[in-house]
Structure 1
């Protein structure tokens, strides 16, 4: 996809937004010594014709769309025309943003908004994206790369990428500087963080904590469970967790409460009757427990879920509790009562992270 192919697509649109008709009048029109509008187009409707200054964007992430809208608005004023952008795909959220800015936008999937204040409004949405992202990390809110996004909810600003990496490793996460660079690029494109370059260093700063939290929630996937044990354990929490800590130190295996079972530390809710733990080796921990644990589905009080998903073991609190973020994500994916509890943790997370003031 290139700027020229977008311009060619615009030429072929014609009556794609019936009852309006679109016609390209000129491409690559220069405005003064340094400015250039990608195309000048006319939209005809009901015996009226409206001029548009069109900016094209191959990338359609939130940052690219915001910058294109701002540029189209500025150039449209010089032409005394209406601003418009053309891009491969526009989500409903992006269309609402463009409408709020009084900027028209058309994509190659059949979505768009064409508006002239007080004169014309055509709005179309719902067509799927035919141009999936070619980003080296397809989803920074899921999988191992989400450790980068999650860490911005622990502290909102990092002086360098190395400082961010150190924070992730301190909380027993494992990523590379290359992954951090790619993930931060995507987060910046989504207008969630900003990267402030100064000399040879780049400061990383969270801009939208709530949007980040929502993105993690929308993309959350439960860990893949390799083995499941459910039964009774004669030990209380303190005794079991002391054994689990010793076993973990000896074997380098990992044990942590599930987010749901950890939630009592972060919100007010009734205690669940079954204690539930993630573990990298269920057979090993059960062998260590010996006769203290036995498998049964009759009035169980204990469950072990074997997984090697690194996300659930990230940022463990008090040696065995899942992080408040993991607790929020698990509860938010649950039933009505669990979602209500998740909302308590959401408010705590947003309050704890804060947003630092912009550095001079």
Structure 2
């Protein structure tokens, strides 16, 4: 049992954290997201905190020890704030960020104010550190964007387990049942360090799971995104549009499709070169993203052909077309050095059994009508008939 004393366990945990902090950059590589970078910093900060904790414990009566422990408290809470930032980037805006910031400030501040009372500072920081971890565990719930469930639950469970350990040890110390030095011998501190080591391993696995999940999402985005404009490509549009149409039918919402085609685009390529054509496509794609609502789908279907799918009636579709057309007429001369316009066809989802191909086919027919009538305008599609719906099915 002597080999499992607190000092030995603590050194093993320090070695574990140092190894994890060194391995993450090697495993993830250099080109990683800001979220993954924050996760790497979390383990580095924890390694620094645990190292300095066991340098200053047990107390030897030196005046600098209290300040080293105060710095350790600050590094520990900075690590929590860093991990909270990673979760916000992985999962979307997280509730509790302000409360976490208060904990990160209050923990070291209280530690410094109570540095002459070892028991009070031990209980205070254990309570605040546990509260910060509890907030982080809650941040793992209800993601604001698509995310795998398993790594979130593992991270949540690991954080919750450490919270129970911190608060139980602090309560026992307050009642006089356990020494309040971080490196004091005894089964309680031994059990806490073992628990911390296991939870650190679980957190490490969770971070790797989150990074893998993020990487998969990035690869998925490359598959369904048009590289030149940043809009959905045809594959991505068809996948998301099918779900959007089904939701509109189920909830009886109006749905409008706008097919757009840049006018005389071949002349731009022939006269100014393909790089100028690419600049025109990028500009149009950017304006489509900026002028649409978040719920609208915008896609480049190929060449100079684009599509917008939106929840709304003819008036809202025409309003979007007007905003986009006005923005293009203002931006093109300034950014491209020449005017640029487009033709558009509008089709509204008809009640009944009309599917996505039928809706887009009517919008495409209206687009060709706009081109035939002089370009640079929006034309409405004719209402669908039962025979036309059946032909497109």
Fold shared per TM-score above 0.5:
no
Compare the two structures and name the one with the higher helix fraction.
2
TM value normalised by structure 1: 0.24
Compare the two structures and name the one with the higher strand fraction.
1
Rg larger in structure: 2
